[in-house]
Chains A and B, each alone.
Chain A
Amino acid sequence: MPSVSASSVLPAFGGLDSKGRGSRLLAGTDSLREIEAATRRIRRHIITMLAAAGSGHPGGSLSAVEILSALYFRILRHNPQDPFWPDRDRFILSKGHGAPALYAVLAECGYLPVEELTTLRKVGSRLQGHPKAGSPPGVEMSAGSLGQGLSYAIGQTLAARLDSRDYRVYCLLGDGELDEGQVWEAAMAAAHYSLDNLTAIVDRNRIQNDDFCEKVMRTDPLPDKWQAFGWHAQEVDGHDLSQVIEALEKAREVRGQPSVVIAHTVKGKGVSFMENNPEWHGKAPTPEQAELALAELAGED
């Protein structure tokens, strides 16, 4: 493939750096505020989508909003107008039940129309209950059975190395998902192959399907576990955009080992009655609850 210059393929996108990173939200000088405004829209999309679908996973979608926003609006080298660009950075959503958050962010980037979001989980929609690769373009991997994304990310990372491409691969895992043994098989392999173009992010919201993680299966101490497996580990407040962005930028500079960013988050973040409540892992809001939630999420865009 010929090398692609961001400026030649992205005339419509104003905020890209010389390597094509970022997106249209970065135009202007106060971009962090713009990203924050986007996170509010994304949270409202999530509530609206789930209420329209009548099922789905609000808690782990809301907890991941800043992580996804940091990635798509600042970190990833991508182009919504060319979703199969061979040199794009890859984002793998391993915690597939967070699909509503991914679709909402992709819509804000322009991969799909915002109006399409309310087709989630409906017959004929591209927006499957759990992600299906390429549906819509921008969704990198089929997921929904926990624990498989990091392995897939390793495959893409090894391919980059073989093809001498400099794209990076990012993989978002849930903390409950870390109970899956395959994650640790993959963690060992990524360190064995010194995959420094791979970054994992753990959405550490401390709640899994049935209950608090601590009650279901203890996973602490997480940084120690990843470090013992040979990873560079950082911990951040997963709702502080600056911290998330800074950690992901630092991960880019790590050499000789893969990086993990453990993002401490609040499940259901932004909606008072959903926050830190295990009941909201996999239940859609009623229309009345959605109205309350949207009122709480109202604010300047």
Chain B
Amino acid sequence: MTTVSQATAATREALGPTLVRLAQGGLDIVVVDGDLGVSTTARVFGKAYPDRFFTLGPAEQNMIGVAAGLAAAGKIAFASSFAVFISGRCFDQIRVSVAQPGLNVKLVASHAGISVGDDGISAHAIEDVALMSTLVGFHVIVPADVVEAAQAVEAAARTPGPFYIRCGRPKVPIIYDESYRFQLGKAHLLRPGRDVTVIATGIMVKRALEAVAALEAEGIDCRLLNMATVRPLDQEAILSAARETGAIVTAEEHLVHCGLGSMVAQTLASEHPVPMGFVGMKDRYAESGRWDVLLEKYGLTAEAIVAEARRLLERKAKGP
């Protein structure tokens, strides 16, 4: 199911081609676009279905409302732009026009996280998972690679209700092969293990795979879960990991407060508390720079996951 392929692709590349395929299959899809359709790949759909593709300019608040109106009239309405604009600029429009009536609007945000790189901190969405996860009834998905992203887009199209799918800008290694089946709301077990669990999302899944391999070389048996669906969280997988491994490290390309780690911690705190470690952005903004250099500088690395896992194992060894 996972592959050793050297191929790379950006998760955002899944959007346009997947929508074309779904529309060819008869789904009543429309797309609204905020003047970033080349970057988000939404224009691939626009080229195939020009009458179902509406350019609205960089006027994202209106774009969300138009998507809501299309959904209210029965359409499967996709809206795409950069993650900062969708989650930040349009929060109120999403809350009142989409979440509260529970409309069938699918927000596909690209250029999330600090891996946007050079464009700098105004373009680095490191709060979007937190914002979108506060919305009642929303599905929030952070795919690990382009294969998973394509399946997430399809799941969103086929599942009624509002979705937020978080995609990235850079080409990153493809983790899954075509036999992979994304299951909405279910963590994917990438490696079983008994000593400690790593729960990762998005581009941190690849780094977690490297971390788990490094830990294995030290004789540490590390479980790895790809938690692509952040909302609703797979409580069962989290609690099993806590009971069976006794320590959990989360890894996300997002602020560590109010993101995946915080939501996992809340699940554990109410049912089965275990020591946790959090890898992600630590209450600061990044800066302009090459994306892979930024990830190193701000601690979004396999080494950081390994260090947290070791720390938790030492703590476990000492006992409560």
Contact = CB atoms under 8 A, between A and B. Distances in A.
Interface of A: 86, 132-134, 140-145, 147-160, 162-163, 181-182, 185-186, 188-189, 193
A152 B92 CA distance: 14
B56 interface: yes
Which of B64, B68, B73, B75 is the most central at the interface, judged by chain A CB atoms within 10 Å of its CB? B73
Nearest to B97: A148
B61 interface: yes
Contacts of A144: 96
Main secondary structure of the interface of B (DSSP, over half): helix
Contacts of A189: 56-57, 59, 62, 66
A148 B68 CA distance: 10
Given A132-B101, A155-B65, A148 B56 contact: no
B136 to A, nearest CB: 13
Interface in B39-79: 51-52, 54, 56-57, 59, 61-75, 77
- Size bracket of the B interface: 20 to 34
Interface string B181-195: 000000000000000
21 contacts: A132-B100, A142-B97, A150-B65, A151-B62, A151-B66, A151-B93, A152-B66, A154-B65, A155-B65, A155-B68, A155-B69, A155-B70, A155-B72, A158-B54, A162-B30, A163-B74, A185-B57, A186-B65, A188-B59, A189-B57, A189-B59
Interface in B164-205: none
Contacts, number: 104
A160 B54 contact: no
Contacts of B52: 162
A52 B95 CA distance: 29
Contacts of A134: 101
B208 to A, nearest CB: 39
The 8 closest A-B pairs by CB, nearest first: A155-B69, A151-B65, A159-B73, A185-B62, A185-B59, A152-B69, A155-B70, A133-B101
Nearest to A159: B73
Q: Which of A132, A151, A158 has the most CB of B within 10 A?
A: A151
> Which of A142, A143, A155 has the most chain B CB atoms closer than 10 A to its own CB?
A155
Given A141-B72, A162-B75, A148 B65 contact: yes
B137 to A, nearest CB: 13
B61 A151 contact: yes
Contacts of B92: 145
Contacts of B30: 158-159, 162
A140 B57 CA distance: 26
Contacts of B101: 132-134, 141-142
A144 B69 CA distance: 16
A150 B68 CA distance: 11
A155 B73 contact: yes
Contacts of B51: 162
Contacts of B59: 182, 185, 188-189
A144 B73 CA distance: 20
Interface in B242-288: none
B62 A156 contact: no
B57 A156 contact: no
Contact of A156 (B72, B95, B96): B72
A159 B100 contact: no
Nearest to A169: B69
Contacts of B67: 155
Given A185-B61, A193-B54, A151 B70 contact: no
A231 B7 CA distance: 51
A286 B168 CA distance: 56
Given A140-B72, A152-B72, A158 B66 contact: yes
A209 to B, nearest CB: 17
